[in-house]
A and B are shown apart, each in its own frame.
Chain A
């Protein structure tokens, strides 16, 4: 059964290579997309922290997105 699954009557090399390429590419793209998102979140929070407390308060009051990014970033780190 295991042998059959691995070798697939001689077609195993083609089938497994195709699946491996697909899932490896998908994993790399997922990893890179997540990294970029985290990088932007980090930069955004850093710039938000650099604002004066008055400005920061105004931004957080007016922007749901800013407060959401800040809270999820604080949860993560």
Chain B
């Protein structure tokens, strides 16, 4: 079982998965965009501005999920010292930061027609900005600290502290009086979003997840080659 997860096998699988994603990606993207921009109906209150949701919400979900993943893997890595976890967290972090920034920017654009302003220091928005800062510190730590072990320790600590911010983001709309609307999609309990909007939302989410997988695998592959290159230099 563990033999299967060695870098050689992982590397071969990465190449196969990248080829597979590349082959289906554009068809899925076009389908998702057709649903999001043409086929889905406008909202009865927000009109067509609701279409921003199809990039804003998946981006925010990916930003949150990526950091949770980084934090949990960093904690496990801190305890069990599994090398691959460092490679995984380093590869996920830039993707998570990018989607967190996209969520903030598209949310801000959505705010103008909906709230009448691009920016307010609302609890949800502020906590998302804090999340992006945690991402930046995590990435910068790996760039600036040359000693790998020290960098891992610092970044694990940053990720563990940042994990506290995740439930704050999730429940900020319930705990404080915010301009941001409460969640329409609930894992437990009934969602308040209509199927005609839920389908494009989930399609866009799926497409962006595929994109994340593609970038993650390319970054992971780069990290493996970088390590192999270092080994070559030792010969």
Given A19-B37, A29-B215, A65-B8, CB of A44 within 8 Å of CB of B225: yes
Nearest CB in chain A: distance from B200 CB, A: 12
Q: How far is the CA of A17 from the CA of B98 in the complex (A)?
A: 17
Nearest CB in chain B: distance from A56 CB, A: 10
What is the total of A-B residue contacts with beta carbons within 8 Å? 108
Q: How far is the CA of A27 from the CA of B45 in the complex (A)?
A: 33
Whether B15 and A21, one on each chain, are in contact in the complex, defined by CB atoms closer than 8 angstroms, is no
Q: Which residues of B contact A22 (CB under 8 A)?
A: 55, 59, 102, 106
The A contact surface, by secondary structure, is: helix
Within 8 A of A (CB), among B75-108: 94-95, 98, 101-102, 105-106
| Count of residues in B whose CB is under 8 Å from the partner chain | 43
Q: Which of A22, A47, A51 has the most CB of B within 10 A?
A: A22
Whether A14 and B228, one on each chain, are in contact in the complex, defined by CB atoms closer than 8 angstroms, is no
Residue-wise interface mask of A (1-37) relative to B, using a CB-CB cutoff of 8 A (1 in contact, 0 not): 0000100111110110111011001100110011011
Whether A11 and B47, one on each chain, are in contact in the complex, defined by CB atoms closer than 8 angstroms, is yes
| Count of residues in A whose CB is under 8 Å from the partner chain | 37
Q: How far is the CA of A55 from the CA of B233 in the complex (A)?
A: 12
Q: Which residues of A contact B7 (CB under 8 A)?
A: 65
The B contact surface, by secondary structure, is: helix
Whether B38 and A48, one on each chain, are in contact in the complex, defined by CB atoms closer than 8 angstroms, is no
Q: How far is the CA of A9 from the CA of B47 in the complex (A)?
A: 8
Residue in A closest to B91 when the chains form the complex, CB atoms = A33
Cross-interface CB contact of A18 among B106, B211, B218, cutoff 8 Å:
B106
Q: How far is the CA of A65 from the CA of B52 in the complex (A)?
A: 42
Whether B228 and A63, one on each chain, are in contact in the complex, defined by CB atoms closer than 8 angstroms, is yes
Q: How far is the CA of A51 from the CA of B47 in the complex (A)?
A: 64
Given A11-B48, A25-B98, A43-B229, CB of A37 within 8 Å of CB of B218: yes
Chain A residues near B (Cβ < 8 Å): 5, 8-12, 14-15, 17-19, 21-22, 25-26, 29-30, 33-34, 36-37, 40-41, 43-44, 47-48, 51, 55, 59, 63-66, 68-69, 72
